[in-house]
Every structure is written in C-alpha cells, then in structure tokens.
Structure 1
C-alpha cells in the first residue's frame, strides 16, 4: 500500500516520451471510475464529452478550463477558451482500466488504471508517445493541475484557481523534466 505522505504528486518520465502520474484518491473505486467515464462528472475536473464503453468507439473531449474553478485564474493568452479533441476507446475494463487514443490520428495514448488501496483508490495515468518537449510540459502540468481538481472534488474541498496553478506547474515541470 502506498503511503500518502510519500506519494509524489508530480509526473515523471518512465521513457523518453512517456509520462506517468499518480494520485491516491478518496474511494470507492466505482465513484472514481464514474469521474473518468461520465461526461458530466469528468467535466468538473477535466473535459466533458459522452463516452461509450466499447473499444473502437470514438468520442470527443471538450475542454472549457475557465469553468473548472471559481475563480478560474488568468488564462494564458495562447490558450483557447475551448479545446476539442476526438479520441478512441482502445480498452475499457470497468472499473479498473481505460485506455484511449490521444487525438484522432492516435499518435498518443493515455492509460488510466485504478487500484483499490483500503478506502482509497490509486489512479495511475500513463501518457505515451508525447511528441515533443513543449507538448510534454503542457500535458505534465495539465494532468497535474486537473488531477488536483479531481482530488479536491472527491474530497469535497475547493480547488486552487486552475489557470494560475497550471502556469505555476508548467514552470516547475520545465525544471523537473530533462530537456
């Protein structure tokens, strides 16, 4: 069992183009699974979008990060108010594993796995085939910030303003991840 005091909230490279990030979250596992797969619950921490459960099925993520926290913080000028991306379900094993393509061209892949640890749930995200350093810094800080919001939602607490947190994390990841 992982001790919450020793779990590092930061993502780390496990291969040159593969990021792994984990969070120990309040359970039960079915509740955390719902926050991954139900578009209305997922909208509260990541992106909306109706998702099926059959491998091979496409779905759309719709990010509206200004709506994640109140206040949202200062959105960087280069970031849009809304971002859309079509993904495909590659594996769906409720409530333990979800694997999706990252984008229509399936150039990237994201693996979500859930493991019960007492009354908590370890969520592990592995984002594979990140194409370059800029994208790596964006997805590292993005997953980190979004998971912090998820943890707050599950714990019933108020998350930090999303954009301010993301900007701060991106600077930290610039130092943490090798160039």
Structure 2
C-alpha cells in the first residue's frame, strides 16, 4: 500500500493505511484522548454530530526528536485546536472541521473498513485552501499516520521531525503541477 497521500480533487487529499484490527481498537486510537495523544493530539471528542472536537497538539508527547525552530512552540507547549463533529457513525466514521493557521476551516474524515483481521483506515482531508496548505497537511498526516501504524503494530517509532523537511519537499514536488484549489 502506498504511504503517500493522493489528491482526490481540488483541495482534497486522501491517505490509506492497512492496520492491525479490530475496528474497535483502531476507533479507540482515533476517538479517545489518551490514545490519540500518542500519535496526533490529545483532547476530548463529543462523539455526536454538532459535538466539539478538541485537540492539543503537543509534539513532545509523540516524539523525542528535537524540533526545528519553527516548530519549537508546538513541540514544547502545544497548540489547541477546536472543531465540530460533522459525521459520527461509531465505530466506522468520524469527521470534524479542522481550523488552523489562519486558513479557512477544512474537514477531516476517518473511515474504518474491516479487511479480514486488519482494518483499512481511509483519511480524507477536504476544503484545503491552497497548494501550500495541501502540502503542509499531507506531510503532517503522513508523519502522524506513520506513528499510529507504529503504535498499532508494536514497532519502534519512526522519526518525526527528522523526516518532516524531506516529506514536505516530496509533497511539494508531487503537487507542483496542480492548479490552486477553487481555480480550475
């Protein structure tokens, strides 16, 4: 399975990971603060449409690597983000708005599909405002989903900050020929 995100349409990227099951186990790593905080961000999710999705991105809790200067604040002190649950079908689908960095709100959707003893996780991030945002979230999701995969398989954690610059450059190259979202 390709680890890289793919562009679905203008302003939307999708990632797929085949993870060790069960669906309920993977669901818990998406929706429970303590488990989600090990690979993405902690924070309470009110699991109903219209409920609040709180996240505290504190990267010192997911990696021991020294961050680049630009990310020192999020690494050490964390950054809070609040969204609204737009779809919730436990234990298969959770979607919520995603705001940040001064960009308009986008939407993240996780879908879980049983595949024998494994689970196909499909992550779709839509309504991304421009190629720079698509590149940024793609590199970020690539890294964070790698950490989730490591947790679920019991593998040693792969690098995070040490891989960011390379992934950002790879996604920028992959998206170079795309038109800006909303412009064709």
Indicate the RMSD between aligned Cα atoms, in angstroms.
Answer: 1.6
Residues in 2 aligned to 1:134 and 1:77: alpha-carbon distance in whole angstroms: 19
Residues in 2 aligned to 1:97 and 1:58: alpha-carbon distance in whole angstroms: 16
Partner of 1:34: 28
Residues in 2 aligned to 1:115 and 1:108: alpha-carbon distance in whole angstroms: 23
Superposed, which structure 2 residues align to 1:69-80 within 5 Å?
69=63, 71-72=64-65, 74-79=66-71, 80=73
Contact 2:82 / 2:99 at 8 angstroms: preserved in 1? yes
Deviation track 1:134-172 (CA, whole Å, cap 9, x = no partner) reads: 211110000000000000000011112211122221111
Residues in 1 aligned to 2:60 and 2:134: alpha-carbon distance in whole angstroms: 22
5+ residue gaps, structure 2: 178-184
Deviation track 1:5-56 (CA, whole Å, cap 9, x = no partner) reads: xx11100111110001110001111000000000000000000001111110
**TM-score w.r.t. length of structure 1:** 0.90
Partner of 2:168: 170
5+ residue gaps, structure 1: 1-6
Partner of 1:3: none
Partner of 1:25: 19
Secondary structure, counterpart of 1:85 in structure 2: strand
**Does 2:141 match 1:143?**
yes
Secondary structure, counterpart of 2:69 in structure 1: coil
Contact 2:131 / 2:175 at 8 angstroms: preserved in 1? no
Residues in 2 aligned to 1:59 and 1:115: alpha-carbon distance in whole angstroms: 22
Post-superposition, which runs of at least 4 consecutive aligned residues in structure 1 deviate over 4 A? none
| Deviation (angstroms), 1:106 | 7.0
**TM-score w.r.t. length of structure 2:** 0.88
**Does 2:114 match 1:116?**
yes
Residues in 2 aligned to 1:111 and 1:12: alpha-carbon distance in whole angstroms: 15
**Does 2:162 match 1:156?**
no
Q: Report how many aligned residue pairs link the two structures.
A: 171
Residues in 1 aligned to 2:122 and 2:53: alpha-carbon distance in whole angstroms: 21
Partner of 1:128: 126
Secondary structure, counterpart of 1:107 in structure 2: strand
| Deviation (angstroms), 1:118 | 0.6
Secondary structure, counterpart of 1:103 in structure 2: strand
Secondary structure, counterpart of 1:100 in structure 2: strand
Partner of 2:182: none
